[in-house]
Amino acid sequence: MLRTIDHFIGGSTFASGERQGDVFDPNQGQVQANVRFGTAADLQKAVDSAKAAQPAWAATNPQRRARIMFRFRELVEKNMDDLARLLSSEHGKVLADARGDVLRGLEVIEYACGIPQALKGEYTQGAGPGIDVYSMRQPLGIGAGITPFNFPAMIPMWMFGMAIGCGNAFILKPSERDPSVPNRLAELMKEAGLPDGILNVIHGDKEMVDAILDHPDIAAVSFVGSSDIAQYIYSRGTSHGKRVQAMGGAKNHGIVMPDADLDQVVNDLAGAAFGSAGERCMALPVVVPVGDETADRLREKLIPAIQALRIGVSTDPEAHYGPVVSKAHKERIEHYIQMGIDEGGELVVDGRGFKLQGHEEGFFIGPTFFDHVKPSFESYRDEIFGPVLQMVRAKDFDEAVRLPSQHQYGNGVAIFTRNGHAAREFTARVNVGMVGVNVPIPVPVSYHSFGGWKRSGFGDIGQYGQEGMRFWTKNKVVTQRWPDGFVDAGDKGAFHIPTFG
């Protein structure tokens, strides 16, 4: 008997929805559970619950909201191993990577624990004669998050941690491929003391996404996923007057200068390109050595390192990475590998056909490495989102800057060098939102903000940090005067615009 994953609305599980989706065990290639797909009526139930609870939550002082975040953090740490196992069982990433998924989400929760400081406004005494001006940040009301399969713990916590800390109610629509961890996080928030209705989890597919985008009581939507869907989310959401941040796909480049420590580069590339089976928007699937000599030396070191990678089930402590999330996604990755061959790339290491003994039906794919990839290749222009590393050789530094700058995506980029001038020049010139210098996966810490450029990000405000606080709040400015005495009834008001000079 398969278990059924229900919605979490108003502080309890809610079983509704005739349509259901399959939740697979990627290690075995078999269905392990069903998840209910909600309807517009189910969303309305979540909205009604949020509307009833949000005013009192917004009126709760920030310190008390922060205390709930502190307790939630403690509960997540206490349940870390169980969360990691549950996450791995549905996504397929190895346990160490699953713990990292949870921990990076907790970093944003820790930032939200300091929400009283983040929400402080500005104050000017004596802006005019007897006039003071101050500002305050106030919650929007109800926010929603639509999150992807590749980080079922981290990205929901990025969103609801900031939104709830700022005083909003929140409706989460997680990926239908691995929906159990988001439900469990909502249960832990309730256990931490969050009032019922402030965090709701409702499952579904595009029908639910559209219902969220169209609902008049949802003020803001945050999304992470592919670029085409991000653009759709942004366009449809803003057309209904919503505030929208929509993070899309990526094709992150790693620039390798001739003076780089190639042993360190190879170690970094192995993790950044193949960790989590490449299913990261901040993965490093393109390496750009500067000069053929650098490329040849790097290739010589890369091949044995790639061939030594261990692919295993998600519970294997020795495995570098596990299966991809679904059979369809595996077939998509293999399609792009064949495309790269057809386009003229040199397939140096072929990961297709990989079978893990005892798990032959699992969604495994071996590490794949291409050399002599050209910028004109469709397989280079598109996001593959799998364990595939492409080498694009640059003749000089200027070309190495142009490649990521001219790509349709602008999420992340890294440069590997010992030369401070080259690093400084690169970080200033490259047209990409997040840059690493000898850091292969430059995801900003929680008190900065995450956000890509070009087709990697739609909307003007990034995730978490001060940017996140601004996204989930609106600014109110108060101009006040307290006269020394009462106004004479015979005085007439001024009809010109007031000036304070």
| Residues belonging to the active site | 281
Tell me how many degrees the CA angle 280-181-209 measures, rounded to the nearest 5.
70
- Residue 358 φ/ψ, nearest 5 degrees: 85, -10
Q: Both ends of the chain: CA-CA distance in Å? A: 76
The encoded tokens of residue 420 equal: 């401070």
The encoded tokens of residue 337 equal: 């590998």
The candidate with the shortest Cα–Cα distance to 221, out of 483, 500, 489, 472, is: 472
Alpha carbon distance 161, 111 (integer Å): 9
Beta-strand runs (E) in 284-360: 286-289, 346-349
Q: What is the dihedral of CA 439, 443, 447, 450, to 10 degrees?
A: 140
Residue 373 contacts residue 330 (beta carbons within 8 Å): no
Alpha carbon distance 321, 278 (integer Å): 9
- Residue 210 φ/ψ, nearest 5 degrees: -65, -40
Alpha carbon distance 463, 158 (integer Å): 7
Instruction: Give pairs for 485-490: CB < 8 Å, separation 24+.
Output: none
What is the torsional sign of CA 50, 212, 148, 453?
Answer: negative
Give the helix, strand, coil percentages of the chain, each rounded to 5: 40, 20, 40
